[in-house]
Chains A and B, each alone.
Chain A
Amino acid sequence: MDSLRVMVVDDSSITIKKLTQILEQIGHSVICSCKTGTEALAYYQQYQPDMVTMDITMPDMDGIEATRQIINRFPKALIIMVTSHGQEQMVIESIDIGAKGYILKPIKADKLAEMINQVYEKYKL
């Protein structure tokens, strides 16, 4: 599998650091990160990442709305939702609008690698 250029969207600096560390350990690079849905839209347009990890619960624009707006403008965007247990309906809503998968917190390297591989193999251009 190719090394992917990933954008990380999460309002927690710690989760951004953890995701960045895991993504780099499994051979990918984090080309940008941001903490709000509004920034995610602008950063996606600017950096055109191969894949996005998107937190669901964020202040200002949440991850579902940010995903909706990115998919509207970039229908082939590969977005993986990051959320905690207990948010299954939010995950279903995200998948319905075009997110390609999800992982649950606390984030485990093997689960993230598996989800990235699964999404990449299914949707790679």
Chain B
Amino acid sequence: MTEHSPNWAMSSTVIDFFSTELMIETTSTTSELNTIQKMELNYLTSLINVEGSIKMFVALSYDKGLFNEIFARYTADLDIAEDEQEEALTDSAGDIINIIVGNTLADVNETDKKIIMSPPLVITAAQQIACQRNSLFYKANLITKYGALDVYLLK
């Protein structure tokens, strides 16, 4: 894995974003490259599909404690009514994966060809996603004091 591979860059971008934008430090990271038949999901998962000169599928799956802390910090200066909370939660998760995947692509794209990111999807009530048999995936597990984040990248 090199500094310019999407796998390495994705984890690095998440750690940087948490630290610089949310003041949340990652205390440890583990990663693996393997084949997969299903992704085990946590409390909230956001997903983006990337097409073009780079093709990949990215999922960020958060523990509840971590995402609640991220949400509180990301929206700290905004007035959000009680009836807007659910939409605000999913939109925050969508904003964050959009920024993280975009920053990662900026680091790894070495061509001037177009890359198209899908609008983000956010799911909160699923336990797993079944994958195509033996899909190659990269998984990183990032630990913070508020909980963990699993980063999945399928190519």
On A, residues with C-beta under 8 Å from B are 11-15, 17-18, 21, 57-59, 83-90, 93, 105-106
Chain B residue nearest in CB terms to A84: B102
Q: Between A and B, how many residue pairs show CB distances below 8 Å?
A: 70
Is A85 touching B91 in the complex (CB atoms < 8 A)?
no
Is B113's CB within 8 Å of the partner chain A?
yes
Is A83 touching B102 in the complex (CB atoms < 8 A)?
yes
On B, residues with C-beta under 8 Å from A are 21, 74-75, 77-80, 84, 87-88, 91-92, 94-95, 98-99, 101-106, 109, 112-119
Question: In the complex, which residues of chain B have a beta carbon less than 8 angstroms from the beta carbon of A87?
Answer: 102, 105, 115, 117
Cβ of A104 to closest chain B Cβ, rounded Å: 8
Q: Closest 9 A-B residue pairs measured CB to CB?
A: A84-B102, A86-B105, A85-B106, A89-B114, A86-B102, A86-B106, A12-B91, A14-B91, A85-B102
Chain A residue nearest in CB terms to B109: A86
Question: In the complex, which residues of chain A have a beta carbon less than 8 angstroms from the beta carbon of B79?
Answer: 17
- Alpha-carbon distance A114/B34, docked complex (angstroms): 46
- The prevalent SS among residues of A at the interface is mixed
Is A105 touching B99 in the complex (CB atoms < 8 A)?
yes
Is A57 touching B106 in the complex (CB atoms < 8 A)?
no
- Alpha-carbon distance A77/B128, docked complex (angstroms): 46
Is B91 touching A86 in the complex (CB atoms < 8 A)?
no
Question: In the complex, which residues of chain B have a beta carbon less than 8 angstroms from the beta carbon of A15?
Answer: 91, 95
Chain B residue nearest in CB terms to A18: B78
- Alpha-carbon distance A8/B54, docked complex (angstroms): 30
Contact of A90 among B78, B94, B114 (CB under 8 A): B114
- Alpha-carbon distance A15/B92, docked complex (angstroms): 8
Question: In the complex, which residues of chain B have a beta carbon less than 8 angstroms from the beta carbon of A84?
Answer: 98-99, 101-103, 117
Question: In the complex, which residues of chain A have a beta carbon less than 8 angstroms from the beta carbon of B119?
Answer: 11, 57-59
Known: A13-B87, A85-B103, A86-B105. A57 touches B118 (CB 8 A): yes
- Alpha-carbon distance A14/B102, docked complex (angstroms): 18
- 12 sampled A-B residue pairs with Cβ under 8 A: A13-B88, A14-B74, A15-B95, A18-B78, A84-B101, A85-B99, A85-B102, A86-B105, A87-B105, A88-B106, A93-B114, A105-B98
Chain A residue nearest in CB terms to B52: A89
Chain A residue nearest in CB terms to B103: A85
Is B102 touching A89 in the complex (CB atoms < 8 A)?
no
